[in-house]
Amino acid sequence: MSAAIQSVVLGATGYVGGEFLRLIAAHPTFELGGAVSESRAGDAVAAVFPHLATAVGETAFVGHDEWAGRIDRGSRVALFSAAPHGASAAILRSALERASARDLDIHVVDASADFRYAKQADYEAVYGEHGAPELIEHFSSGLPEHVDGTPTAHVGHPGCFASAMLLAAVPLIASGLTGGELFATGITGSTGSGRSPQPGTHHPERHSNLYAYKPLSHRHAPEVRLLTGQATGTLPRLHFVPHSGPFARGIHMTVQTPAEGVPVQALKTAFHDAYADCAFVELVNGTPRLKDVVASNACRIGVAASDEAVVVTVVIDNLVKGAAGGAVQWMNRLCGLPETAGLLAPAPAWT
């Protein structure tokens, strides 16, 4: 492996931020150069994430104006943003200015939505005013499995629901075996709503419960449509209904499409060929299960077909493959490292 690359996490106190810190601690090349949090600057990381105590020791959070000064001039830096949607762009603008002032050789992977759209107008139609539109051209978006090489210096990683849908939709549309209309149902764990308590993530509300929210109007749908079109050349019609599940981690996604007489073996071949060289994606016999992937960067996919329809089921961990793990996978590539570096720990299964 190469010499250590200093890794900085912006928005490091949230669930995704905590996963970045956990993955960096086990990475063979990335070394934590700064866990950034304005609200908790000076506090011990282990006070916020006790489960990381043996990995982070006495490390404390630092403010946005501190991290760059702690890194030697000219160093290689992997900068991850777990800052909130709408805030990340402006924070990253300032971070890149600080990096430039210290001649840092830097790559950014943003886990927020701020750089998932190639056009400012597309972003603003969903999220409102963009915080740093001048940076959009320096970012590209998509899953590593669907994008060749490194088109730009920085990446906006797709969202968690979007990652699960894209893993089903892209091979399905690219195969030509079906039409371009997709019906998706996704169930996510409570960590997908972030660390701040909300009625929808409060345990008594989620426990032994299951309910849909924002049917046909969830913000990930236009992202998935555009990224599927980018990967396949076909812009699908997508009808997405998300659900809140009674568990903490994971996403179970079901994508269906009308299709007459598609042989199931042809469908399996299409998915096998699409992901043959992808270390984290596995096509399984039957249907995949969440406990086989939770807390890992793995994705498992199952396919089925009848005389009238095709169905694809996908399971991923929302915080890992759907956020921090997928972002580390991208950063590995941007830094010229093996894409699997630091990401091969298996799922614990009995969570």
CATH code for position 274: 3.30.360.10
Domain identity same for 164 and 262:
yes
266 assigned to some structural domain? yes
290 assigned to some structural domain? yes
Residue span of the structural domain in which 124 resides: 5-157+321-334
Residue 278 is a catalytic residue: no
Per-residue confidence in pLDDT tens, the chain, 351 aa: 468 999 999 999 999 999 999 999 999 999 999 999 999 999 999 999 999 999 999 999 999 999 999 999 999 999 999 999 999 999 999 999 999 999 999 999 999 999 999 999 999 999 999 999 999 999 999 999 999 999 999 999 999 999 999 999 999 999 999 999 999 999 999 988 777 777 777 788 889 999 999 999 999 999 999 999 999 999 999 999 999 999 999 999 999 999 999 999 999 999 999 999 999 999 999 999 999 999 999 999 999 999 999 999 999 999 999 999 999 999 999 999 999 999 999 999 888
What is the pairing mode between strands 181-188 and 251-258?
Answer: antiparallel
CATH code, domain carrying 76 = 3.40.50.720
Tabulate helix, strand, coil % of the chain (nearest 5). 35, 20, 45
340 assigned to some structural domain? no
Tell me which residue has tokens 């690359």.
5
231 assigned to some structural domain? yes
Tell me which residue has tokens 């570096």.
341
236 assigned to some structural domain? yes
Q: Quick one: pLDDT at residue 63?
A: 97
Q: Are 36 and 59 in contact (CB under 8 A)?
A: no
Domain identity same for 164 and 147:
no
Pairwise CA distance, residues 332 & 109, whole Å = 10
251 assigned to some structural domain? yes
Radius of gyration from C-alpha coordinates of the chain: 20
Domain identity same for 129 and 169:
no
Domain identity same for 165 and 313:
yes
100 assigned to some structural domain? yes
- Provide the number of structural domains found in the chain: 2
| Lookup: tokens for 332 | 């590995």
**DSSP letter at 131?**
S
Domain identity same for 217 and 110:
no
Domain identity same for 262 and 314:
yes
Catalytic residue (choose from 160, 278, 299, 335): 160
Q: Quick one: pLDDT at residue 2?
A: 62
Q: Quick one: pLDDT at residue 1?
A: 47
